[in-house]
Amino acid sequence: MPNRIIGMFCCLVFAGHLSAQMERTVYQVFEVDSVQTVTLDIVGFTYPELHVWAGNSVMTEANIQVWDASPEVVNFLIGEGRYAFESERNADTLRVFTKVRQRKDIKLPGMRTKCVEQTTVKVFIPDIYEWDPEEWTIEQTDHPKTLRRKPN
């Protein structure tokens, strides 16, 4: 009987270890100044959300969840820019885009399967911009979105 209890305890501990989830949230801010048009070219994130705020910059909030990876692995992936955004400014246009356009599966040495990863993004835009709600549907997830400064 004690062997069964020990065996069940080991199975529970091992099963709990397999489903461990690491979660991090990464913020980035992009100043808009007098920019008339902002293009958001965000790919590789599920469930993009748009939020309006009274700020004077565009802020991204990337939520990263990785199962079966250590905190060090997740921190390494963040440090390598896997979930980062970059920007390009051209005259009165700002383009904010995903740095890593194609993410390879996360498979650690010695693992038989890849890590499960889910990334979501919230984009906070200044209330001085208007947007087309049709661009924020599920079907448009990986397509660029355009924000235009509201007329004064």
pLDDT of residue 31: 96
Q: How far apart are CA 82 and CA 121, in angstroms?
A: 13
Distance CA 2, CA 105 (A): 41
Measured CA to CA, the distance from residue 130 to residue 134 in angstroms comes to: 12
Please state the pTM of the whole predicted model. 0.80
The answer to whether residue 4 scores a pLDDT higher than 70 is no
Residue in this structure with the two tokens 């802020």, named with its chain if needed: 59
- What is the average pLDDT value for the chain, to the nearest integer? 86
Residue 17: the pLDDT is: 46
Q: pLDDT tens digit string along 78-113?
A: 999 999 999 999 999 999 999 998 888 888 787 788
Summarize pLDDT for 104-138 with one digit per residue, the tens. Answer: 888 878 778 888 999 999 999 999 999 999 888 88
Tokens of 135: 């661009």
Residue closest to 63 by CA, chosen among 27, 15, 34, 39:
27
Cα of 26 vs its chain's centroid, Å: 8
Do residues 23 and 64 lie in contact, with contact meaning Cβ atoms separated by under 8 Å? yes
For residue 134, the SS3 value is: helix
Domain residues of the chain, as ranges? 21-149
pLDDT at 107: 82
Choice between 86 and 34, residue whose per-residue pLDDT is larger:
86
